[in-house]
Amino acid sequence: MNIKIELFENDRAIEVYVHGEIDAYTAPELREILFPLSKKDEVQMVVDLTDVDYMDSTGLGVFVGIFKNIRAKSGELRLVGLSNRLKRLFEITGLADIMDINSPIEGEVE
């Protein structure tokens, strides 16, 4: 189980591209990279999950923590490119109601 994380940072705008699976084995790497960034003031973080094949509750926990950090510092978190399976995971847990998971990637038509 592998994960690849690409990060592009410009002042408060952060783009993250995640490839692979987010589970108990790979979530700590994701957390290690994104948590410090999520504590910046007014950060605008977009996480593209187009190439994520699988995510378990450990991955959800990472995103909840990141979301809380960002909100506490008046920032925004957008999760984009979710497969139907990932969207369903966020809907079942109720996270879809509080997190921005449905915004299209810029230039993408809904």
Query: Quick one: pLDDT at residue 103?
Result: 59
Q: Rounded CA gap, 95 and 39, in Å? A: 20
CATH architecture of 3-97: 2-Layer Sandwich (3.30)
Query: Quick one: pLDDT at residue 108?
Result: 46
Query: Quick one: pLDDT at residue 12?
Result: 86
Query: Quick one: pLDDT at residue 109?
Result: 43
Domain boundaries, the chain: 3-97
Q: What tokens were used for 20?
A: 């692979």
- What confidence tier does 98 reach under pLDDT thresholds 50, 70, 90? very high
- What confidence tier does 17 reach under pLDDT thresholds 50, 70, 90? very high
Summarised one tens digit per residue, pLDDT across range 34-84 is: 999 999 999 999 999 999 989 999 999 999 999 999 999 999 999 999 999
Label residue 89 left, alpha or beta by phi (over 0 means left) and psi (-120 to 50 means alpha).
Answer: alpha
